[in-house]
Amino acid sequence: MKIKDGFILKDVAGSKIVIATGDAKLSFNGVITFNSVGAEIFNLLDGTNTDEEIIKKIASDYNVDTAIVERDFYALVEKLKAHKMLDD
């Protein structure tokens, strides 16, 4: 999976937010706020990492059970899909 072109993560006043630029603004007119884990996942969704690699990395980096990370990862993926931010 990969974040579609035109969606960028910005640090604004200590908050991590995703905004749409260019043609992406035609399909998304809003802002999504992430915590540090969500921001890291967003950055890892670059088309070079598998779901399993991302889940294992987050679980290791944050010392969290893999099953919890997997559940939260797929919840975030569904949110991104709902906003049409992902290329499969």
Residue count of the chain, please give it: 88
Tens-digit pLDDT profile for residues 45-75? 999 999 999 999 999 999 999 999 999 999 9
The 10 Å Cβ neighbour count of residue 51 is: 14
3-state DSSP assignment of residue 32:
strand
Tens-digit pLDDT profile for residues 12-52? 988 999 999 988 888 887 889 999 999 999 999 999 999 99
Residue environment code for 53-84, b if the CB has 16+ CB neighbours within 10 A, otherwise e: ebbeebbeeeeeeeeebbebbeebbeebeebe
Output the pTM of the full model.
0.90
Domains and CATH numbers, the chain: 2-87 (1.10.10.1150)
